[in-house]
Amino acid sequence: MLRTETNRATGPVITAWSAVSPFGVGREAFERGLSAGHETARPPDTAEWGVVADAGARLVPDFHVREVLGKTGTRGLDRATGLVITAVRELLRDVPDIAFDGGLNTAVVLGTTTGSAQGYADLTRASFEGRRPQDVPPVAIPNMAMNRAASASAIFHGVRGPNSTIAAGRVAGLMALEYGRRLLIQHRADTVVVGATEEYSQARSWLEHHRRAGSEDRVELGEGSAVLLLERSEAEAVAAGRAVLAEVLSVTSRVDVNGDPAEALHGCVSASLEAAEVSAQDVRAAMPSSCGGTSESTETRVLTQVFGVEAVVRPDIGSLIGDTSAAASLFQIVALLCTAQRRSDDRDHLAVVTAVDPDGAVAGAVLRLLPVGR
Domains of the chain: 13-239 (3.40.47.10), 248-369 (3.40.47.10)
CA distances to 27, 80, 132, 269, 278 from 20, in Å: 8, 11, 39, 29, 33
Instruction: With H, G, I as helix, E, B as strand and everything else as coil, classify residue 228.
Output: strand
In DSSP terms, 107 is beta-bridged to: 192
Q: Could you give the CA distance from residue 81 to residue 342 in angstroms, rounded to a whole number?
A: 31
Q: Is the pLDDT of residue 370 over 70?
A: yes
- What are the b/e assignments for 190-200, b being 16+ CB within 10 Å? bbbbbbbbbbb
- How far is Cα 195 from Cα 89, in angstroms, rounded to an integer? 12
pLDDT at 3: 39
Question: For the residues 65-87, what does the mean pLDDT come to?
Answer: 94
**pLDDT tens digits along 128-144:** 998 888 888 888 888 88
Decide which of 191 and 290 is more confident.
191
pLDDT at 295 over 70: no
Residues of the chain above pLDDT 90, percent: 71
Q: How confident is the model at residue 293 (pLDDT cuts 50, 70, 90)?
A: very low
**Distance between CA atoms of residues 248 and 12, nearest Å:** 6
The pLDDT value given to residue 9 = 62
* 20, 26 contact by CB (below 8 A): yes
Residue 8 above 70 pLDDT? no
Is 64's pLDDT higher than 60?
yes
Query: Global pTM?
Result: 0.93
150-172: burial string, b at 16+ Cβ within 10 Å, e else: bbbbbebbebbbbbbbbbbbbbb
How much is the average pLDDT of 158-162?
94
In the predicted structure, residue 292 carries a pLDDT above the cut 60: no
pLDDT score of 6 more than 60: no
Identify the pLDDT of residue 4.
Answer: 41
CB 57 within 8 A of CB 221: yes
Strands (E), the chain: 13-21, 24-25, 41-42, 57-58, 106-112, 163-167, 191-198, 224-231, 246-255, 283-287, 349-356, 361-369
- Structure confidence by residue, pLDDT tens digits, 188-208: 999 999 999 999 999 999 999
Mean pLDDT, rounded, of the chain: 90
How far apart CA 14 and CA 211 sit, in angstroms, is: 35
